[in-house]
Every structure is written in C-alpha cells, then in structure tokens.
C-alpha cells in the first residue's frame, strides 16, 4: 500500500485535508436552489463510501509496504472493525447536528462553536492517546487557531442584524456537535496499526480503517438522516420520494461533496503516521478558516459588512497562519 515516507509530505497531506474539509460544503451551494440538506446528505454519504473504496483498491492495494486492502480486510479483528464503525457513527451524528445548528443559529454561532470545540477536544484526546510532537508549540498553535475562529465568529456577528437573537437550541446543538466531532477521529486511529510499515495482526491499515469508517457513516445514515427527514429541526418534512425527484446536477454535487471530504479524511489518516494523530487532526480542523476564506472571497458574504469587519478578518487570517505554522513545527 502507499505510505507517506517523511514529515514534509505528511504536512502537505494535512494541508490538502484542510482544503478538502473547508471546501466540500461549496458543492451544496452549487446544487439546485431549494435542494434540502437532508436530501443532499444522502449523495454526500454515498460519495464518501465510493471514494473510500476507490482509495482501498488503488493506493491501498499497490506498493510493497504494509498490507494490501483485501488481505488486510480478511485478517481484521472484529474489535478494530467495530472501532472504525463507531468512528463513522459518531462523525455522522456530529456532522448532521452541526448542519442543523447552522440552519437554526447561523454560521456566527454554530460553525465557530462546533468546529472550534471539535479542534480543542480532538487535539487533546488524540495527543493523550499518541503524544507525538512538542506539546508547548502544539497547544500554542491550537490556541491561535481557536482565537482565529473566535475572531471569525465576531466578524459574522457584526454582519448580523441588531435585532437577531442567538437560538438556545442552535447553541446546544453546536456544543453537542463539537464534542462528538472531536471524538470520532480517535476511534478510527485506534483501529489501525501505529507504524504503517509494520502491520500488526488484527489491526487495520489506514485504507481499511477509512472503508469501515465510511460504512459506519453509510449504515447509520439510514437511521439518523431518516429521522431528520421526517422530524427536521427546521422546515417541513421531506420524503424519500423527494430525493428521487432531484436533478442529476443536485445528485452529482452531493457525491462530489462526499468525495472531496473523504479525500481529506484519507489524507489525514495517512499523514498521522509521520505527523501524529493530534497534529494531523489539528491541521485538518483548520478547515474552519478555509470555509471562511471561501465565504469572504468567493461567495462575497462580507461585501456589505459594517466598518471594522475587515480588520477582524485580517487579524483572524494572521492568527490562523501563525497557529498553523506552530502546529507544523510541533513535530
């Protein structure tokens, strides 16, 4: 299987993860107007599963290092399979709750609170499991990224109407989503052998782990997303009949969105061998700022922003870049 050979390449893969995790949501904007997220999400999950299988049968089955996908699949211990499946379940609940929170409370509350909390929890949990890197630089870098996220939230608040109120339901969903989002990566990392060049009996390769993680997302979606379709937090219920009324463009955008996210996940897992799970996950969760950059420069969300917003955005980007540099240097 393909294995990353050095830390520099691992950092490059982490940067790709950031770009993917911060960019996949653009595909929802590119779908047809009025296409509900609950319907979009089915194609998104299918895209994740198909991409994980593509990686497994290509990069995961070539080269001399590690174990090939099918060989690894057949020798996998059930406990490690379950760990990867649980990771998929936890992620799916977190991701759906986060999007529901955005619908209720808006980006100014849901995304900074949810993903900011996920970054803090995820880095701490993964570092305690596998303490690689300089802890001082790592946590200073995380602190700066969190500061950037808070500045991002402040900029969004300046855009909001003075009469708008923070939804208690949206805030609660954001906190729950962030706590769960910070935990899913640990389950996937724990299912794998730690040194990708030295396979351990019963443990999963990174490619096999991502496949089972994706299966966990796919299977859990039949329960989680079905409930949200018929009992949505916001809006009228939608049915499976509505899904099949979607256009080819809407379905393709969903599959593309899932594929982009899965590329990011696969690259993050591959990078964790040389970078450590904490650094790999921490860099990936910098996607919050990537999403903000899309909003600022492509979707022009701040073109009518009040005075002072641009200063907050510039400081936010500076904190993010310095924090990113510290996380990279921590290894």
Lowest-confidence segment of 193-197, 215-219, 258-262 by average pLDDT: 193-197
Of residues 22, 10, 174, the one with CA closest to residue 105: 174
Is the pLDDT assigned to residue 196 strictly greater than 60? yes
Backbone angles phi, psi at 204, to 5 degrees: -100, 150
Is the pLDDT assigned to residue 165 strictly greater than 80? no
d(CA 265, CA 14): 9
Q: Quick: pLDDT tens for 92-140.
A: 999 999 878 877 766 656 767 788 788 888 888 888 888 888 999 999 9
Of residues 188, 173, 158, the one with CA closest to residue 284: 188
pLDDT value, residue 162:
45
∠ CA 303-307-312, rounded to 5°: 85
Question: How many CB atoms lie under 10 A from the CB of residue 64?
Answer: 8
Q: What percent of the chain has pLDDT over 90?
A: 55
pLDDT value, residue 167:
62
Is the pLDDT assigned to residue 163 strictly greater than 50? no
Q: Quick: pLDDT tens for 292-326.
A: 788 778 877 677 778 888 888 889 889 988 988 89
């Amino acid at each position: 299987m393909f294995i990353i050979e050095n830390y520099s390449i691992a950092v490059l893969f982490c940067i790709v993860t950031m770009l993917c995790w911060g960019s996949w949501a653009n595909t929802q904007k590119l779908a047809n107007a009025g296409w509900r997220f609950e319907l979009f999400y089915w194609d998104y999950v299918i895209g994740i599963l198909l991409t994980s299988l593509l990686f497994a049968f290509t990069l995961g089955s070539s080269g001399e290092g590690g174990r090939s996908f099918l060989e690894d699949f057949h020798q996998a211990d059930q406990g490690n399979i379950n760990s990867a499946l649980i990771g998929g379940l936890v992620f799916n609940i977190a991701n759906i709750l986060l999007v529901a929170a955005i619908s209720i409370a808006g980006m100014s509350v849901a995304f900074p609170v949810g993903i900011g909390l996920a970054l803090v929890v995820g880095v701490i949990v993964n570092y305690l499991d596998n303490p690689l890197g300089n802890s001082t630089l790592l946590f200073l870098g995380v602190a700066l990224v969190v500061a950037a996220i808070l500045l991002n939230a402040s900029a969004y608040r300046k855009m909001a109407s003075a009469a708008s109120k923070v939804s208690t339901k949206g805030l609660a969903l954001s906190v729950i989503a962030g706590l769960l989002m910070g935990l899913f990566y640990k389950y996937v990392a724990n299912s794998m052998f730690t040194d990708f060049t030295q396979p351990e009996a019963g443990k999963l390769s990174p490619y096999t782990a991502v496949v089972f993680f994706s299966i966990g997302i796919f299977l859990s979606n039949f329960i989680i997303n079905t409930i949200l379709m018929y009992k949505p937090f916001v809006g009228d219920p939608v049915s499976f009949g509505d899904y099949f009324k979607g256009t080819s463009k809407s379905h393709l955008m969903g599959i593309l969105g899932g594929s982009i996210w899965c590329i990011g996940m696969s690259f993050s897992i591959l990078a964790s061998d040389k970078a450590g799970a904490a650094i790999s996950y921490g860099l990936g969760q910098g996607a919050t700022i990537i999403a903000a950059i899309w909003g600022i420069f492509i979707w022009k969300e701040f073109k009518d922003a009040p005075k002072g917003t641009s200063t907050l955005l510039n400081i936010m980007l500076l904190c993010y870049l310095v924090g990113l540099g510290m996380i990279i240097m921590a290894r």
